[in-house]
Amino acid sequence: MNQAENMKNYLSLIKFSHTIFALPFALLGFFLASIQPGIGFSWRLLFLVLLCMVFARSAAMAFNRYLDRDIDRANPRTASREIPAGVITPRAALLFVLANAALFVVTTWFINPLCFALSPIALLIILGYSYTKRFTFLCHFVLGLGLSLAPIGAYLAAGGGFDQIPIIYAVVVLLWVSGFDIIYAMQDEEFDKDQALYSVPTWLGKARALQLSNTLHAISGILILIAGFLLVQTYPAFDWIHWIAAIIFISLLIYQHTLVRPNDLSRINLAFFTTNGVASVLFAGLVILDIFV
């Protein structure tokens, strides 16, 4: 196997494209901190934040694949993944996890003491998620919690403290991610029941799980609007671009729920991957644009 193929396999293992969910919110947190008095923008810190996102995401996803290798092998939907298919060995995957976790911690040391001190807690959350489906239906919320660290972590990295706006965005991410992960888990309801795995669909059934997802996304949309009002009050320069971003994000949440029915999961990939990726990029991108405009 040549180096290019090996790299492609590892990128597939960690689903690198899924970084698009949390990364835009991390950048949003970073740029919001950069406009605080006495902070300013730093290319060095931005680069370090991006490295942290890549290392943390890679460690978390590879560990999930490593831990779930036997489950993935038994599930027809996931049997072709890299570890059960034999493309990447479990030992190589675990070494990859350890390397990325170590690089994440080392990178936080170059950012500031607070980020370095909090890095083990962040790793505990994002790696611990992989165990949760074995004992609690709250696993979706632990995943959401892991991704919700992105805006707060980036805000702290840029030199900001704990502030209400990045915290609200963190809750938005928590509820948004939990909601769409519940939708994604609907396709494995019967398999999870057979394997004694926990999820909201196995607990509530598809119809009620979808209703819970609707509720989580509705609250997420409301919080996006609340964050907008706080931004306008705190930074009067924020204007119509932010509100367009909020409308797009909420509209895509609504659209996502038109694609999935309890008895029709044929468009679940469109709902999960495409819609949420576009929502994240457009929302954060437009708000960051509003910061500069």
183-212 burial, b at 16+ Cβ within 10 Å, e below that, comes to: bbbbbbbebbeeeebbbbbbbbebeebbeb
Count CA within 13 A, CB hemisphere, residue 6.
Answer: 7
pLDDT tens-digit map of 188-227? 999 999 999 999 999 999 999 999 999 999 999 999 999 9
Specify the fold of 3-292: Tetracycline Repressor; domain 2 (1.10.357)
pLDDT at 17: 60
Sequence letter at residue 204: L
pLDDT at 269: 81
pLDDT for 30 beyond 60? yes
pLDDT at 282: 95
pLDDT for 272 beyond 80? no
Q: Which two tokens stand for residue 248?
A: 């797009």
Res. 108 pLDDT band, cuts 50 70 90 = very high
pLDDT at 37: 85
For 124-138, what is the mean pLDDT? 96
For 132-159, what is the mean pLDDT? 95
One DSSP character per residue, 14-44 reads TTGGGGGTTHHHHHHHHHHHHTSTTT---HH
Give the CA radius of gyration of the chain: 19
Q: First vs last Cα of the chain: how many Å apart? A: 48
DSSP 259: S
> How is the chain split into domains, by residue range?
3-292
- Sequence-separated (6 or more) residues with CB below 8 Å from residue 169: 25, 28, 29, 151, 227
For 12-20, what is the mean pLDDT? 69
pLDDT at 18: 66
Which of 95-104, 234-243, 254-263 reaches the highest mean pLDDT?
95-104
pLDDT at 1: 54
Q: Which two tokens stand for residue 184?
A: 């994604």
pLDDT tens-digit map of 151-172? 999 999 998 788 899 999 999 9
Whole-prediction pTM: 0.94
> Which of 64-78, 127-141, 236-250 has the least mean pLDDT?
236-250
pLDDT tens-digit map of 206-217? 999 999 999 999
- Sequence-separated (6 or more) residues with CB below 8 Å from residue 76: none
pLDDT tens-digit map of 36-70? 888 989 999 999 999 999 999 999 999 999 999 99
C-beta of residue 224 within 8 angstroms of C-beta of residue 250: yes
User: Which whole-number Å values give the CA distances from 196 to 184, 190, 204, 281, in the listed order?
Assistant: 18, 10, 15, 36
Higher pLDDT, 9 or 77: 77
pLDDT at 236: 73
pLDDT at 4: 65
Q: Which two tokens stand for residue 260?
A: 């999935």
pLDDT for 123 beyond 80? yes
DSSP 81: S
pLDDT at 256: 92
